[in-house]
Amino acid sequence: MIAILSDIHGNYPALKAVIDDLEKFNCDKIISLGDVTGYYCMVNECIDLLRVRNVVNIIGNHDNYLISRTNCSRSKSATRCLEYQQYVISNENRQWLESSISNFEFDDVSMVHAGWNDYLDEYIHTVSESYFENLAARYYFSGHTHVQAIAKFKNKIYCNPGSVGQPRDGDARAAYAIFDRHNVTMRRVRYDIDSIAKEMNTIGFEPYFYENLYNGSCIGGKLSQLTIA
């Protein structure tokens, strides 16, 4: 049994709730599809927990911004959060992040952060069977859009487990997936949003940066969608 997480984004209360929930399933492996960093302030707490659980991390675009000390060109909000994380992240946790892999494949399973044309930054907003026809695996997992979804085609199955730390599909609960190497089960978990909001406020981030968590949207309030064609 494998637990598949994605887009934690420094939201430790959400991650802790997910880790507690997945204990019910006796998972022998936890895979993170990346973006452990970005948006919320508890980056060390998140990575500490992932390290303790021996989680395999696939590098996400926000993780790459942090370790390369670059900004997110399309989001001033993300850049401000990353600048804070670059300042507070411990050396050990930075090294762990730097050891992240670009993709993860085993048996007939393929996992990336974003998409198979661009592992780091491709947005798969529309899922179709034709997208996967020249790819060899049967099961595909990616994050990045923060929208939980599953698409079952004739010979292929695609899953986006959704976002642990910043869902954008209108459901404020943390999202993840369980995979038994044949079937995928989607999970949603309530967590204490007030606690991460308090942490953000304490270090000087305005409500704009975290009020979206209460309605399951991106910063600014916009919802995202994933279409199965």
Task: State yes or no: pLDDT of 125 exceeds 90.
Answer: yes
Phi, psi of 126 (to 5 degrees): -125, 125
Q: Which residues pair with 111 in a beta bridge?
A: 104, 141
Query: What is the Cα–Cα distance from 85 to 213, expressed in whole angstroms?
Result: 19
Query: What is the Cα–Cα distance from 63 to 37, expressed in whole angstroms?
Result: 6
CB 207, CB 196: distance < 8 Å: no
**Helix, strand or coil, per DSSP, at residue 177:** strand
Query: What is the Cα–Cα distance from 95 to 74, expressed in whole angstroms?
Result: 26
Phi, psi of 127 (to 5 degrees): -110, 125
Q: What is the pLDDT of residue 181?
A: 84
* Direct distance between the N- and C-terminal alpha carbons of the chain, in angstroms, rounded to an integer: 29
Q: What is the pLDDT of residue 223?
A: 92
Amino acid at 26: N
- For 13-69, the DSSP string reads HHHHHHHHHHGGGT-SEEEE-S--SSSSS-HHHHHHHHHHTT-EEB--HHHHHHHHT
Task: Tell me the average pLDDT across 33-58.
Answer: 97
User: What does pLDDT average to over the chain?
Assistant: 95
Task: Tell me the average pLDDT across 148-155.
Answer: 94
193 band by pLDDT with thresholds 50, 70 and 90? very high
Task: State yes or no: pLDDT of 26 exceeds 90.
Answer: no
* Strands annotated E in the chain: 2-5, 29-32, 56-57, 104-106, 109-111, 126-127, 139-141, 149-152, 157-160, 174-179, 184-189, 227-228
- For the record, the structure tokens of 176 come out as 């993840």
Query: What is the Cα–Cα distance from 147 to 129, expressed in whole angstroms?
Result: 18
Task: State yes or no: pLDDT of 45 exceeds 90.
Answer: yes
The residue ranges of every structural domain in the chain are: 2-104+163-219
Q: What is the pLDDT of residue 142?
A: 98
- Looking at the chain, the whole-number percentage of residues with pLDDT higher than 70 is 100
pTM given for the model: 0.96
If one compares 90 and 77, the residue with the highest pLDDT of the two is 90
If one compares 164 and 228, the residue with the highest pLDDT of the two is 164
Q: What is the pLDDT of residue 72?
A: 82
Domain 2-104+163-219 has CATH 3.60.21.10: yes
Q: What is the pLDDT of residue 13?
A: 98
Task: Tell me the average pLDDT across 98-111.
Answer: 96
pLDDT digits (tens, 9 = 90+) for 53-72: 999 999 999 999 999 998 88
Query: What is the Cα–Cα distance from 102 to 63, expressed in whole angstroms?
Result: 11
226 band by pLDDT with thresholds 50, 70 and 90? confident
- For residue 201, give the DSSP letter: H
Q: What is the pLDDT of residue 39?
A: 94
- For residue 167, give the DSSP letter: -
Q: What is the pLDDT of residue 71?
A: 84
Q: How many CB atoms lie within 10 A of CB 67?
A: 18
Amino acid at 155: N
Q: What is the pLDDT of residue 75?
A: 84
**Helix, strand or coil, per DSSP, at residue 11:** coil
